[in-house]
Amino acid sequence: MTSRNKRPDYKIGDIETRLSHAGMDLSGERQVVNPPVYHASTVLFPTLADLRQASDSPFDGLYYGRFGTPTQRALESAYAELNGAEGCVSVGSGLSAITTVLSMLASRGQHMLVADNVYDPTRKFCDGLLSGWGIETEYFDPARPDQLAECFRKDTAGVFIESPGSMTFELTDVPAVSAICRAKDVPLVLDNTWATPLFFDEYEHGVNIAINAATKYVVGHADALLGLITCDATWYRPVRSAAIALGQYAAPDDAYLALRGLRTLALRLTQHEQQAQALCHWLAEQPEVQQILWPAWSEHPQHDIWQRDFTGASGLFSVLLSPVSDDALSAFLDNLRWFGLGYSWGGFESLVLPMNPATCRTAKPWQQEGVLLRIHAGLESSEDLIDDLAAGFERMRSYS
Ligand SMILES: *Cc1c(COP(=O)(O)O)cnc(C)c1O
């Protein structure tokens, strides 16, 4: 457990070393490398005095299963150590991490500034429940931080961004937005699921609260849902309290799977990046491909920001195809051998999904013609993946 007064061993060791050792507690009787998986609701106290003492600081020790056990604590402290966050709160899904933070930040009559390219369910939460609670959301162009300062109001409670957006991959200049937020004394929240702390260090770039849908790369095997929220010193306690108040909780088996996934995250991300690189190179040669939307691609409109702020690129990107009929698109997608057609990403297996950003944009409408395909480059051989795509393009061409 990250203590409030003593920072964890902040950035001691390279990231690969920290991934292997973070959150490991071999104190006391423990000699086993990994933490036990506690399936717990009730925690028993030997005496009334012990029960009262535990009630005084329920976040810190063992109190009641919903507050977490050494299983969730091991994951939380490991993840917080990666980027030197003050603390980490684990919850049941990436979306619940987002809704917990948004519910905590704003109250009735206040205003939130949200980037136009956020994950669509984030937007639905803002336009649905938050709006019903009397909190107004204003969307801004993620690529134009210069326009952001004038959007602030006296009652602006927070700024929420996702960089890159996980559908259209615009980047936000986080240091620029952070400077504006600091001047206005408003917290900056980043959904950092795409880069993870390995490829984008949130706290070095002035973020106050960072969200990771650990369902994706941290778990990495498409077998659990989990959300991780890290915070700076100001926001750790409020976020922890909000998660408890909302009944948020990460199931112990899923927390264990996430901790296991964390140990190999650097290896997997490096491989996902190389795969994406190989696929983008091949895709760029196809006549139907109008644009590659991957920040590491040199023609990405904000490639310079990626080069300045990121230390790598993960394996999720989109390609914009010239317009095709629905039948042609189905012929491509229905018969792929290795690419699965389905939601989520970050697992070992490759996925493809058609996207329509036009339905979830307001600040900067999506006006590109054509079909946007989002691809998650998995860990298969890149030759096999390219062969699969090539066969798909051939099937699609036979329709035109
Ligand atoms: C998938 C995703 C989420 C939500 O995660 P779940 O665990 O599926 O709830 C949030 N943000 C981004 C960027 C995502 O891709």
215 CB under 6 A from ligand 1?
Answer: yes
% of the chain exceeding 90 in pLDDT? 90
Determine contact, residues 264/248, Cβ cutoff 8 Å: no
Instruction: Determine the residue type at 281.
Output: H
Residue spans of the chain under pLDDT 70: 1-11, 29, 400
Q: Say if residue 164 is preceded by a cis peptide, omega within 30 of 0.
A: yes
225 CB under 6 A from ligand 1?
Answer: yes
Parallel/antiparallel/unpaired status of strands 111-115 and 156-162: parallel
% of the chain exceeding 70 in pLDDT? 96
Does the active-site annotation cover 216?
A: yes
Report the predicted TM-score, pTM, of the whole model to 2 decimal places.
0.95
164 CB under 6 A from ligand 1?
Answer: no
Evaluate the CA torsion angle 141, 147, 152, 157 in order and state its sign: positive
DSSP state of 311: S
Q: Is 111 strand, coil or helix?
A: strand
The H-or-E segment that residue 293 falls in is strand 289-293
> Which of the following is catalytic: 73, 123, 216, 361?
216
Q: Which residues pair with 158 in a beta bridge?
A: 112
- The residues near 311 (Cβ < 8 Å, ≥ 6 apart) are 198, 199, 200, 201
Does the active-site annotation cover 38?
A: no
> Which of the following is catalytic: 18, 73, 139, 191?
191
> What pLDDT is recorded for position 11?
65
> What pLDDT is recorded for position 24?
84
H-state helical runs in the chain? 15-21, 48-56, 70-83, 94-105, 120-125, 131-132, 174-184, 196-199, 236-245, 252-263, 265-284, 303-309, 326-334, 382-397
